[in-house]
Structure 1
Amino acid sequence: MMTPEQLIGLNQDHLLNIENNTELLGQTFQCHHEVLIPIAKLIRQSEMDGVPLRIVSSYRSFERQAEIWNSKFNNDVELNLRDGTTVNSFELTPRERVNAILHYSAVPGTSRHHWGTDFDVFDAAAIDQGYDVQLTEEEFEDKGPCSGLDEWLDYNLEKFGFFKPYREDKGGVACEPWHISYRPIAEKALDEFPLEFLKDTLRQMEIGGKEHITSRLESLVRKYVYNICTE
């Protein structure tokens, strides 16, 4: 069980810090203490099968998620939309900007990365050859640098307790074939998600578009937190 503070990224007591001098194939990341052995086994099996995976993002704190969110909301940047097009953030109303950001970036406190159970992964061979990771669907499709890894993940994730929560676009978070989650702990985290605690926390924080988030937080959580692929 995680505390409300841990579930929204304000406390890290549930995490382990994995440094690159361990046996985990030179990778450095943070994860929930109960996820270390499963993710280590998954990494090792991918190496043995010739499709080595590299963790490019793991735990993310509330503060870090707020930095990502505020950077997109407060600056005139291009926002990626789920249809593959982009839009300049300042061309949108604040409410529209919130909606556009939500395609690929979670409201601080609602990211599965807060739990230490979820990872963004990529083909290590491509990274080692100097490939600039973008984390796009095209990278995981046929002829993309991660097409082989994507097929391997679909065949092997369940064996180690993992799944892809954003395997398909269900109308919430856009499709993210690179995002994997450790089911046994993540399911408990989702069941215990502290909606009211998060609402009180957001009201006290400097979050871009806050009034357009807190006023409809329940519906946003249903759409972007609970609305996942379970198989």
Structure 2
Amino acid sequence: MKRRNFIKQSAKAIAFCMVPLPEFTYQKAYTQAQLLGKNNSLILNKSIVQKETYNAFLSLKNAAAKENINPQIVSGYRSYLRQQQIWNRKYNRYKAKGLSETAIIKNITQYSTFPGTSRHHWGTDIDIIDANAKRPKNLLLTENYYEDGPYNNLRLWMEEHAATYGFIMTYPNLTDRPGFLHEPWHFSYAPTAKKMLHQYTKLPLNNLLKNKKVLGADFFVENELPTYLKNYVLGIHKELL
């Protein structure tokens, strides 16, 4: 349940006056490269998230500060290449243990996505911690966000207030939700993420996801992709669909 690879970046604590969230539409068109994580032109300063996501996060951050909670982004935008590196490293690890192709993919996709399918490619999704809490050795563990964990107060605050600022917990702890395991640290900025998902699902993914540099890609696309798209790409909070 460890997330050993993530981008460690802090959001600057600057004043930001909250404005009404934009009305949800599907009018803006995104390129294939942007949707697949192969172009970061949408990312603010080409680093963390999109501008709209960042501004909404600052509003959220300022509100949380009133209750001595300091949300901090530790992972935002992730490129296709970075996701490919994560995937290949885990693939090699499980391959060395003698697992079958199906078992390898099942193990990797407990928490990690196939390159070109990650919501982190969009710059709308963030993994967060509470910078005011005692920092554990491994940040993104479910146990850190519950009961006596250092980020329990952050989770409780986010569950009550995050939606006010447009953020939804992407993978909630629901028994009837398929796909990735529960991630109490992962939130999506819904006004933009919903638009991008709508356009993403219309891409010819059978062709776009094939890549000889991604280990097991041919097997994945030919044997696992339809189920993966249904259970993992769409196995998210209903408010994000």
In the superposition, the TM-score normalised over structure 2's length comes to: 0.80
Match among 101, 105, 130 for residue 98 of structure 1:
105
Distance 1:205 1:47, change over 3 A: farther
Distance 1:205 1:61, change over 3 A: farther
- Residues 115, 186 of structure 1: 8 Å contact kept: yes
Question: 2:15 is matched with which residue?
Answer: none
1:11 aligns with 2:39: yes
Question: 2:86 is matched with which residue?
Answer: 68
Question: 1:222 is matched with which residue?
Answer: 230
- Residues 118, 181 of structure 1: 8 Å contact kept: yes
- Residues 56, 122 of structure 1: 8 Å contact kept: yes
Deviations 1:150-193 (A, max 9, x none): 10000110110110010125120110000011001011111111
If each structure's strand is expressed as a fraction of its own residues, which one has the higher value? 1
DSSP-derived class of the 2:210 partner? helix
1:142 aligns with 2:160: no
**What's the C-alpha RMSD, in Å, of the aligned pairs?**
1.9
Rounded Cα–Cα distance in structure 1 between residues aligned with 2:61 and 2:197: 25
Rounded Cα–Cα distance in structure 1 between residues aligned with 2:136 and 2:32: 38
**Aligned letter for 2:147?**
D
- Residues 38, 161 of structure 1: 8 Å contact kept: yes
Question: 1:132 is matched with which residue?
Answer: 137
DSSP-derived class of the 1:100 partner? helix
- Residues 98, 212 of structure 1: 8 Å contact kept: no
Question: 1:160 is matched with which residue?
Answer: 165
Cα displacement (A) at 1:48? 2.5
Distance 1:130 1:157, change over 3 A: closer
Distance 1:47 1:31, change over 3 A: same
DSSP-derived class of the 2:45 partner? strand
- Residues 89, 97 of structure 1: 8 Å contact kept: no
How many residues align structurally?
208
The sequence identity of aligned pairs, in percent, is 33
Cα displacement (A) at 1:205? 3.9
- Residues 129, 139 of structure 2: 8 Å contact kept: no
Question: 2:5 is matched with which residue?
Answer: none
Match among 70, 90, 99 for residue 52 of structure 1:
70
- Gapped regions of structure 2 (runs ≥ 5): 1-27
In the superposition, the TM-score normalised over structure 1's length comes to: 0.84
